[in-house]
Amino acid sequence: MKTKKMLSLLLVLTLIMSALAGCSGDKSTESNTKESNTTSTGDATPSEPPVTLTVEVFDRGIQGQPDLNNNTWTRYINDNFGKQNNAIVKFVTVPRSQEIDQLNVLMAAGEAPDLAFTYDSATVSRYAKVNGIMQLDDLLAEHGKELTNYLGEKVLSYGVFDGKQMAIPAKRTALAWTGSFIRKDWLDKLGMPLPTTRDELYNALVAFRDKNPGGVDGVIPWGLAATGMNYGTGNLFESFWEEQSEEEFVTAPSWLRPGNKEALKFLNKLYHEKLISPDFALDKTMQQADADVTNGKVGFFSANWDYAFRQNISDPLKANVPEANFVPIDTFMNYEGKYKKIAYNENGIFVFIPKSSKNAELAIKYLNWMSSPEVLFFLQYGEEGVNHKMVNGIPQVINQTGDNMHTVYLNLDYTLVVNGPELGDPEKNIKALASVFPGLEEVAEQSYKINTTDAYTEYFFDTPNESKIKFGKTLGDLSKQMTDKLIVVKPSEFDSLYDKLVKEYMAAGGQAVMDENVKIYKAMQAQKK
């Protein structure tokens, strides 16, 4: 009897041990699988608590915007980067309108997020100067190979200060800036071709004034506002500028460039011949210029490269004047036979890691992960059929409400390594830009290409110009006042007034800014040798 009991007990114990061994085997397999998965995508150990990576995001105050820490895009980030790296990505909101002030406060308190950013290179340079941000060369070499390959040497060079990589600039894929547009339907009525030179444009403006092909009350050949970006002068000035060395061109104010006086004299001539908006200097909000264009009174204007196709212009214009047809033109040719015009630099926002960060390695890994085509595509366009639809091979964003909302074009507040569409091909990127103007895609694409031809970019100084910081606003305001005065002054008084105003400008800080530009430029050139 005892023997039977002992055998029964041994049998039960054997079964229990077998079951436990089986369970243990399952857990071991599961643990190994998890560990294997983690090792393949990150260095975190599953048993460790997740690390919190903090990342700045702009709060743009858009009506109906989702929780900026819990939406379609942040969940994708945490599901596809966070979980794979045993991390939680937490977004620190900063008001867009106060970003520099707020960033300065966070930096001073040692509470800035692990990944912070700004569009202001001078701010980054100042942080670098006081040793407030990390040097990134070694981190990029070890953990940012895909990121480095994606951005390329040229883009990364904008984040180099004093010979060291202190910031990661985003790649700007949309480089066109200014553009010029003319009423082709007016030209067709007059039997005139699209103007390709300044003289041909002048002849067209005179014909618009004298023959009024639109039959409007108060025709305005050239729509101009208070020397702003839109309804400005486009690349007119570049067509007058004469040859200069690089040092002269990048260090001196435009007021001293050879040919600048002649450009303003030309505008003065147009004003007195009633070829530009008579009250342009009073139109500081562009409301009058917008009204004149959409009511069909304007024959030509210069503005942002896509301004003529935007809904606030194209829709009311078509409603008021169905036959109206603004097309982009290149008409301001310079002494070389080129159409020089400014374009955006290849860099966008500057991303940096504060010295207070304890997660620098993870931060670079995050940017490295983000630089892959699949990640960028999802963050910009989301899921097909839900967040975008494909039209002629180009994704078009849909369903931008609630959790799916983009608070800014193509979600650039979450895509820190790129500004602009990124479809892996420059031609596709241009088509993506043009696709936001339904029915005008072809002409918008043409405008983009025109306005990136013969383009130059603003010179990048790797050290802040303290004189520019001190006198910049005063000089900017003074430039606008000078331009307005010189356009309307009596032609007989133009030369003396120009010389007088430029002298005052240089005394008001222009000379100090130029001298410091020269000093920084020479130091940068010496560093290249």
When pLDDT is averaged across residues 405-424 and rounded to a whole number, the result is: 95
pLDDT above 70: percentage of residues in the chain: 91
- Global pTM reads 0.86
Domain match, 158 and 298 both? no
pLDDT band for 400, please (50, 70, 90 cuts). confident
What does the alpha-carbon distance between residue 234 and residue 332 come to, in Å, rounded to a whole number? 9
Question: Does the pLDDT value for residue 91 go beyond 60?
Answer: yes
- Are residue 323 and residue 364 in the same domain, yes or no? no
Out of 358, 390, 424, a domain closes at 424
Q: Packing angle between helix 511-528 and helix 466-488, nearest 10 degrees?
A: 130
Are residues 370 and 315 part of one domain? Answer: no
Query: Is there a single domain that holds both residue 183 and residue 320?
Result: yes
Q: Do 410 and 273 have their domain in common?
A: no
- Can you give the residue range of the structural domain that contains 67? 51-173+346-424
4 assigned to some structural domain? no
The answer on 418 and 452 residing in a single domain is no
- Residue at which a domain ends, from 404, 424, 444: 424
237-241, 327-331, 472-476, range with the lowest pLDDT:
472-476
Residue 363 has pLDDT above 50, yes or no: yes
Say whether both 306 and 368 belong to one domain: no
Is the Cβ–Cβ distance between 352 and 166 less than 8 Å?
Answer: yes
> In 259-325, which ranges are continuous DSSP H helix?
260-272, 287-294, 311-320
Mean pLDDT value of segment 96-104: 93
Asked whether residue 17 is domain-assigned, the answer is no
Domain assignment present for residue 520? The answer is yes
The count of structural domains within the chain is 2
Contact 460, 452 (CB under 8 A): no
Judging by beta carbons within 10 Å of its beta carbon (0-12, 13-18, 19+), is residue 87 exposed, middle or buried?
A: buried
Q: Which of 19-23, 131-135, 400-404, 441-445 has the lowest mean pLDDT?
A: 19-23
- pLDDT for residue 414: 97
pLDDT of amino acid 21: 36
Least confident of 12-26, 351-365, 371-385, 460-474: 12-26
Q: What confidence category does residue 464 fall into, taking pLDDT thresholds of 50, 70 and 90? A: confident
Residues 302 and 153 in one domain: no
Please report, as a single letter, which amino acid is at residue 177. W
Within a domain: residue 41?
no
Q: Is 263 a member of any domain?
A: yes
pLDDT value at position 47? 73
Tell me: pLDDT of 274 over 80.
Answer: yes
Domain presence at residue 11: no
Q: Do residue 307 and residue 442 come from a single domain?
A: yes
Same domain, 167 and 183: no
Structural domain contains residue 37: no
CATH number of domain containing 105: 3.40.190.10
Is the same domain home to 303 and 380?
Answer: no
Q: What is the pLDDT of residue 75?
A: 98
Report if residue 193 sits inside a domain.
Answer: yes
Which residues lie below 8 Å from residue 249, measured CB to CB, with a gap of 6+?
Answer: 257, 459
| 351 within 8 A of 367, measured Cβ to Cβ | yes
Assess whether pLDDT exceeds 90 at residue 3.
no
The pLDDT score that the predictor gives to residue 35 is 33
Looking at the fold, whether 56 and 145 belong to one and the same domain comes out as yes
pLDDT band at 39 (very low <50, low <70, confident <90, very high): very low
| pLDDT tier at 226, thresholds 50, 70, 90 | confident
Q: Which of 424, 459, 476 is the last residue of a domain?
A: 424
Which one has a higher pLDDT value, 6 or 382?
382
pLDDT of residue 488 exceeding 90: yes
For residues 150 and 137, give the distance between their C-alpha atoms in angstroms, rounded to a whole number.
Answer: 16
